[in-house]
Amino acid sequence: MDISLHTRTLKKILPEHFKGETPIVRYDFKEQNQFLAAIKEKLRTMDGFELSEEERFYPRFFASEFKETCLFTIHSSSKYYSSQDFELKFNDVNIFIINANYNLESPVYDLEQIYTFSDKMESEYKRLDKIYVRTEKTREKNKAERHKQKENNSLKREKIKSLKEKAIFAKINEIAKEDKFEFYIEKYITKVKLLVRLTKTDQMEIDIPYGKFQEALQNLRVTIRTIKELRDSEIVFKIRRVSYRETQWISFDADKQ
């Protein structure tokens, strides 16, 4: 896993490490290039720094000369965060600065700050690793707690659903014994389907939603009796959704028109 250092981390590191009263300034162009060349030679002999083979030059205004820079990488010792590139150069007002991408930069006040910067980054990577591990533990703990809560809620819902099913079955069984009919129950996620046998070839189906099972049970006996009476009178009805291609409805007060 390689996570890039966040901008806010770099904003924290630079002013913490590069601080002082007067930044390094070199006004002479050739002196600037010699200064940077000497730093490059020094960094090549030091652990913790890897100089880039890429060379970047900035043209000077009204001149054919180019300002030299020093590009280097501080490799990450972290298990989680990636290495970071930096650039040393003199800015347009001749102040020696370090640039950390994202247009983040800081003046350099002492050369020793450059040479000890790898130690600063090492300690920062260790700090970030500790935070990462702590954050991951908290995240895993929260994830486990959410999972446990989800399981508890699921068990609670199943328990409530089971109680409702028992109540529905008990009431239907009571009505069936008194009114003497055969029935069958199908269980679904949100409802119970009651099938009542009317004849050897006919049956009625009644959906009883778990959310309104008490209201449905209150009217169940009357509903079953009414439908059976209508069936015995050879009156058959269906309830279905209205089709968009239905003919125009006749209003109950159409005779007044």
pLDDT digits (tens, 9 = 90+) for 211-226: 888 888 888 888 888 8
Scan for tokens 């000497």, then name that residue.
38
- Quote the mean pLDDT of the chain: 86
- Distance set, CA 118 to CA 62, 113, 205, 214 (Å): 37, 9, 78, 73
Long-range contact list for 164-169, CB < 8 A, 24+ apart? 164/210, 164/213, 165/192, 167/213, 167/217, 168/192, 168/208, 168/213, 168/217
Distance CA 148, CA 12 (A): 38
End-to-end CA distance of the chain: 79
Per-residue pLDDT of the chain (257 residues; tens, 9 = 90+): 588 889 899 999 999 999 999 999 999 988 999 999 999 999 999 998 999 876 555 555 444 456 778 999 999 989 899 999 999 999 889 999 999 876 789 999 999 999 999 999 999 999 999 999 999 899 888 999 899 999 999 899 889 988 988 988 998 899 889 888 899 999 898 898 999 888 888 888 889 888 888 888 888 888 888 888 888 887 877 777 777 776 677 777 755 55
Number of H helices, E strands in the chain: 6, 10
Q: What are the structural domain ranges in the chain? A: 7-115, 160-232
Rama region for 62: left / alpha / beta (φ>0; ψ in -120 to 50; rest): left
